[in-house]
Structure 1
Amino acid sequence: MTADHKLPVISLFSGAGGLDLAVDRVADAPLTVPEEPTPGPYRVAVATDYAPQALDTLALNMPETATVPRDIRDTPTSELLRLGSMTEGEAGLVVGGPPCTPFSKSGFWLAEKRESRDPDASLLEEYVRVVAQSRPEAFVLENVQALTYKTHKEHFKQLLGALTELGYNPQWKVLLAADYGVPQLRKRVFVVGRRDGKAFKFPEPTHAGPSETSRDWDRSKPLHISAGEAFKTLKTMPEPGELVEGKYGELAAEVPGGQNYLWHTERYGGRNEFQWRSRYWTFLLRLTADKPSSTLQAQPGPYVGPFHWENLPNERGELRARRLRVPELLRLMTFPDNFQLMGSRADIQRQLGNAVPMELGKAVLRALSLQLGYLDAGSDRDDQLLRSAGSAVLIS
Structure 2
Amino acid sequence: MEVGLIIDCFAGGGGASVGIEMALGRQVDVAVNHDPEAIRMHKVNHPDTIHLTEDIFKADLKGIVKGRKVKLMWASPDCTSHSKAKGSQPRKSGLRILPWAVFKHAREILPEVIIMENVEEIQQWGPLDEKGYPIPERKGEDYKRFITAMCSLGYRFDCRELIAADYGAPTTRKRWYAIFRRDGKDIVWPEQTHFKDSEPKWKQCGEFIDWSDLGKSIFSRKKPLAEATQKRIANGIRKYILENPEPYIVKNEEAVAFLIQYHGEMKAGDSRGQRLMEPIKTIDTSNRYGLVTAFITKFYKSGTGQGCDEPLHTITTSPGHFGLISAFLIKYYGSGGSCQTVDCPLNTITTKDRFGLVNVVLDIKGEKYILKDIFLRMLKPEELKLMQGFPKDYIINRDIKGRAYPIKEQVARIGNSVVPIMAQKLVEANCPYLKTGERMPNIIIDESEQQLKFA
Q: Which residue of 1 aligns with 2:4?
A: 7
Q: 1:356 aligns with which of 390, 409, 418?
A: 418
- Distance (Å, rounded) in 1 between the aligned partners of 2:168 and 2:120: 19
- Counterpart amino acid of residue 225 in structure 1: K
Q: Alignment partner of 2:97: what SS?
A: helix
CA contact (8 A) 2:9 2:73 kept: yes
CA contact (8 A) 1:255 1:284 kept: yes
Shift in CA distance, 258/6, structure 1 to aligned 2, threshold 3 Å = farther
- Distance (Å, rounded) in 1 between the aligned partners of 2:390 and 2:239: 26
| Structure 1 unaligned residues grouped into runs of 5+ | 28-39, 210-216, 264-276, 377-396
Shift in CA distance, 139/280, structure 1 to aligned 2, threshold 3 Å = farther
Deviation at 1:361, TM superposition (A): 1.2
Q: 2:101 aligns with which of 117, 126, 131?
A: 126
Deviation at 1:309, TM superposition (A): 4.0
Any residues of structure 2 matched to 1:1-396 within 5 Å, and which?
6-27=3-24, 40=25, 42-79=26-63, 81=64, 86-111=65-90, 113=91, 118-149=93-124, 152-209=139-196, 219=198, 221-231=199-209, 245-256=225-236, 285-299=272-286, 305-310=288-293, 319-341=374-396, 342=398, 343-370=405-432, 373-374=433-434
Residue deviations 1:198-245, cap 9 Å, x none? 441211211111xxxxxxx5x3x41111112344xx5665789x9994
Q: Alignment partner of 1:361: what SS?
A: helix
Task: Name the structure with the higher strand share.
Answer: 2
Q: Alignment partner of 1:322: what SS?
A: strand
- Distance (Å, rounded) in 2 between the aligned partners of 1:280 and 1:64: 49
Shift in CA distance, 367/320, structure 1 to aligned 2, threshold 3 Å = same
- Distance (Å, rounded) in 2 between the aligned partners of 1:325 and 1:259: 24
CA contact (8 A) 2:4 2:68 kept: no
- Distance (Å, rounded) in 2 between the aligned partners of 1:280 and 1:50: 38
- Counterpart amino acid of residue 114 in structure 2: F
- Distance (Å, rounded) in 2 between the aligned partners of 1:168 and 1:239: 52
CA contact (8 A) 2:214 2:293 kept: no
Residue deviations 1:279-317, cap 9 Å, x none? 599x863341211111112135xxxx33224259x9x99
CA contact (8 A) 2:115 2:180 kept: yes
- Counterpart amino acid of residue 69 in structure 2: E
Moved more, 124-133 or 199-208: 199-208
Deviation at 1:165, TM superposition (A): 0.7
Q: Alignment partner of 1:110: what SS?
A: coil
Deviation at 1:259, TM superposition (A): 5.5
Task: Name the structure with the higher helix share.
Answer: 1
Q: What TM-score do you get using the length of structure 2 for normalisation?
A: 0.62
Q: What TM-score do you get using the length of structure 1 for normalisation?
A: 0.71
| Structure 2 unaligned residues grouped into runs of 5+ | 126-135, 244-263, 296-337, 342-372, 399-404, 437-455
- Distance (Å, rounded) in 1 between the aligned partners of 2:379 and 2:267: 19
- Counterpart amino acid of residue 222 in structure 1: P
Q: Alignment partner of 1:188: what SS?
A: strand
CA contact (8 A) 1:52 1:69 kept: yes
Q: Which residue of 2 aligns with 1:266?
A: none
CA contact (8 A) 2:291 2:376 kept: yes
Aligned-CA RMSD value: 3.5
- Distance (Å, rounded) in 1 between the aligned partners of 2:377 and 2:115: 36
- Counterpart amino acid of residue 83 in structure 2: S
Moved more, 14-23 or 199-208: 199-208
Shift in CA distance, 16/257, structure 1 to aligned 2, threshold 3 Å = farther
Q: Alignment partner of 1:11: what SS?
A: strand
- Distance (Å, rounded) in 1 between the aligned partners of 2:227 and 2:265: 17
